[in-house]
Structure 1
Amino acid sequence: MKLKALTLLITSSFACMVTAADMNVNQEVKAAKDPHIANLSLVQQLADVGLEQKDPLILMTAAKIYAMTPTKDMKRTKESEGGVDSKKTTDMTVDFDSLLDYAKEYSGDNESYLAMISEIESVKTRGRTSGPAISTDRIEAGATDTYYIRYRGDRLAELMIIGDGDTDLDVYVYDERGNSICKDDDYSDQMYCSWVPAWTGEFEVKIKNRGNVYNVYDILTN
């Protein structure tokens, strides 16, 4: 019995070693997070509070951080599966212009606030070519969107999904061998995954809409 137990233990340990070696993750490398992605997460949090409380000052702060955070627009090809077409009465997107539009609306005739908004408008970065890559897309109710994103080996890979707040979104990341690398499946539509690839390779990113209406989301990658 002892010999059998020892054999099972050795076999199990070897299987774990093989699995770890096959996964495109380097557990030994520690890398610093991109502060720009953290800033954009903060923008979303401030926007949520500002819109809920109709507070122009909070929205102005969010807009200013957004304006000063470099990003680069990227078009991504996706595969969509399942889902049904749906409609919503309003879309509350979070970008520089919409944040200031809401700030203006909630400021009313307050000249001091309007002057602050004009000043923030002049801060907006033009021709962004650096920082995290950002793309915007729409996922139908109950659908799954799939992207294939390439990350470099031995460097921190970061992925953030920021939805419009109307449904629960979940994200699942797999390497090219089908190994599960990361997931964020809480009950929100703001998701974050990070890992260090062992080698440069392509990762499969699946986004699932758990709600009964569509969701407009941003994908941010470093």
Structure 2
Amino acid sequence: MSFQTRLVPFAFAAVSLFCIPVFADGNPKSSNVGEATAPTASSTAVDHWETAMALVRYGDSKQDALAMIAAARIMKEVGDSPSKAAVVKGSGQTTSADKKTDTLTVEAILARAKQYAGDRKDLVALAEDAARVGGRGAVHGPGRKSTLVYRGTQDVYQVAFRGGEPAIVFAAGDGDSDLDLYVYDENENLICSDTDLTDRMLCRWSPRWTGQFTIKVKNLGMANYYTIVHN
């Protein structure tokens, strides 16, 4: 066998070696989650949205106009942009629940604030002032989407998160049913879940590398109009 003939198998093996996919730790099913990382401006923005939604829930339960106004101001200050999450699967049904509307917009929140204010002209004036405050616009803030999930169904999204930075997904419903949240990486590993008995859900993790994640919002009760926010 000539030297040139012996060289061919070696060259083929070398090329094959460089064609093997390289994973974060050598495991093709490796979980894309690492150690906690420092907050970023985008992850902090999602935290602020969570605070605003908590104020809305409190304001509605106590009919507290000030809490609602504070929530609306936070939402305007933080801003948002249309979510870039790709919808893999939606409820896709038509029921009377289609008549539900989004109760978590700034306009809807301030409308209820005025209702709770009653004869308090000072609070009504604060609500009207908050409505006039300019928002940061559609190019700022975290990705946000509001949609209706029907009884016994789930919505499935895919969105990319950056490696080495905190990733946050927050969702809040209209209070009419229990919603559960699940996050999977591209290797189908369950990264995070929030399955308590409410429709307020939060998942927080730090991806080791930039990659696609699958987000599932499962409805365990009647139709629920929810808002999902992510960085």
TM-score range, shorter chain: 0.7 to 0.9
1:30 to 32, 37, 48: 37
**One-letter identity of the residue aligned with 2:168:** E
TM-score by length of 1: 0.81
Name the CA shift for 1:42/1:133 in 2 (closer, same or farther; >3 Å).
same
Over alpha carbons, which structure has the higher Rg? 2
1:46 aligned partner: 55
Q: Mean alpha-carbon deviation: is it higher for 185-194 or for 106-115?
A: 106-115
Alignment of 1:68-87 (within 5 A): 68-74=77-83, 76=85, 77-80=87-90, 85=95, 87=97
**Aligned Cα RMSD in Å?**
2.5
Residue 102 of structure 1: CA displacement?
A: 0.7
Unaligned runs of at least 5 residues, structure 1: 1-16
2:230 aligned partner: 221
Alpha-carbon deviations, 1:67-113, whole Å to 9, x = none?
Answer: 21122123642403698845398657122111110111222333222
Matches of 1:144 and 1:177, distance apart in 2: 20
Alpha-carbon deviations, 1:110-150, whole Å to 9, x = none?
Answer: 32222212221222305231221111111100001111111
Asked if the contact 1:169–1:209 (Cα under 8 Å) also holds between the matched residues in 2, the reply is yes
Asked if the contact 1:49–1:58 (Cα under 8 Å) also holds between the matched residues in 2, the reply is yes
1:101 aligned partner: 111
Name the CA shift for 1:39/1:181 in 2 (closer, same or farther; >3 Å).
same
TM-score by length of 2: 0.79
Q: Mean alpha-carbon deviation: is it higher for 176-185 or for 45-54?
A: 45-54
Name the CA shift for 1:100/1:216 in 2 (closer, same or farther; >3 Å).
same
Residue 163 of structure 1: CA displacement?
A: 1.1
Q: Mean alpha-carbon deviation: is it higher for 112-121 or for 197-206?
A: 112-121
Q: State the SS of the aligned residue for 1:22.
A: coil
Alpha-carbon deviations, 1:26-61, whole Å to 9, x = none?
Answer: 23x523262221211111111112112222122112
